[in-house]
Homo-oligomer: A and B are copies of this chain.
């Protein structure tokens, strides 16, 4: 058993860890402010250093490169999105449960709400980044909390099993993200499909496409959720 896991870390070490984390959190918040104002391309060690009153050299002690900084933003944004979506379908504090189909709608609406509240963070998650930065494992694990909530909501609906050429790949993926072992492709497939559909709507909405077409993106989302539920026989 390692010393760290034994809970007997000396106090001095814990204080040092807090001192190390505090500027990191400050830097991250400043970087999010730059990102939210001007997009991910504006995030640089110089711009963020200026915002927190540090030289790029001092900043490098915490984030050795711009990529490392963007990496941290991606992980934090993924976690934030994953937690928000998962929470949207959690049982109410009063112990009440949400009707099966309604949970799917709540998840999809919360995903859209988060994306519209942080459009530049959302776009960053799916943008050209350096290959090293793409999909840091910690970010993927965090955002998968939302996906697992969607899978649970869809699994609660009786799904007719229909074999598809995608089944084996879906099962491997479900296993990789930690979905319950008995989750069938007939649940995993609709989960991927609904996510991709909501992503399509949300990115077009952020890009202003539906505004210029005079279409209500919220209604389009509800139609997609309804279609997904109909297909599952809900």
A residues sitting closer than 8 Å to B (CB atoms) are: 39, 41, 120, 123, 125-128, 134-135, 140, 164-166, 169-170, 172-173, 176, 189, 192-193, 196-201, 203-204, 207-209, 212-216, 219-220, 223-224, 227, 231
Contact = CB atoms under 8 A, between A and B. Distances in A.
Contacts of A208: 134-135
Those 4 A-B pairs whose CB atoms lie nearest each other, nearest first: A200-B200, A126-B207, A196-B200, A41-B41
A224 B120 CA distance: 28
21 contacts: A125-B207, A126-B209, A127-B207, A134-B207, A140-B212, A165-B219, A166-B219, A166-B220, A166-B223, A169-B215, A173-B213, A176-B213, A192-B213, A193-B220, A196-B201, A196-B204, A197-B197, A198-B200, A199-B200, A200-B201, A200-B203
Copy number in this complex? 2
A192 B213 CA distance: 10
A199 B192 contact: no
Nearest to A173: B213
Contacts of A199: 200, 203-204
B215 A173 contact: yes
Nearest to A205: B196
A135 B212 contact: yes
Nearest to A217: B196
Contacts of A198: 200
Residue with the highest number of chain B CB atoms closer than 10 Å, among A128, A164, A189, A201 = A128
Given A123-B127, A193-B220, 15 more contacts: A39-B128, A120-B128, A125-B207, A126-B204, A134-B207, A164-B223, A166-B215, A166-B216, A169-B215, A169-B216, A170-B215, A176-B213, A176-B214, A197-B200, A199-B203
